């Protein structure tokens, strides 16, 4: 498993307590967050088996899904759905994932 994929799975693990809290407050936003985080891992795995522009396409989708997951956390926090939930680990891992994805999508050729 390459580092970006490994970190994406760590993100999902860190989101488990967040998802438990969010699910009771906003099921739709919880579902969106879950799908976005899952999309990062799945697109990284698929992209790792592709080449060229097809690989880059999957990595770009993963980057967009990573941004979507971070935005979902921000929206949930803004609505007060996550008061008392520690988001530090999840946000730090999402930042790391975003940096890894930036490197994958902006390689010099």
In total, how many domains does the chain have? 1
Confidence category of residue 103, pLDDT binned at 50, 70, 90:
very high
Contact 5/44 with Cβ under 8 angstroms? yes
User: Residue 19: which CATH number?
Assistant: 1.20.1440.60
DSSP character at residue 59: H
Burial of 69 (0-12, 13-18, 19+ CB in 10 A): buried
**Domain span at 66:** 3-105
Which pLDDT tens digit goes with each residue over 25-56?
999 999 999 999 999 999 999 999 999 999 99
pTM for the model stands at 0.94
Token pair 């307590």 in the structure block, residue: 17
* pLDDT tens, position by position, 1-27: 599 999 999 999 999 999 999 999 999
Contact call for residues 22 and 81 (beta carbons, < 8 A): yes
């Amino acid at each position: 498993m390459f580092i970006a994929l490994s970190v994406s799975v760590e993100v999902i693990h860190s989101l488990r307590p967040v998802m438990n809290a969010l699910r009771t407050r906003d099921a739709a936003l919880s579902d969106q967050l879950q799908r976005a985080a899952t999309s990062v891992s799945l697109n990284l795995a698929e992209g790792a088996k592709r080449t060229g522009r097809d690989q880059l396409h999957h990595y770009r989708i993963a980057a967009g899904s990573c941004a979507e997951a971070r935005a979902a956390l921000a929206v949930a926090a803004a609505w007060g759905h996550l008061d008392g939930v520690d988001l530090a680990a999840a946000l730090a891992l999402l930042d790391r994932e975003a940096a890894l994805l930036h490197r994958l999508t902006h390689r010099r050729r």
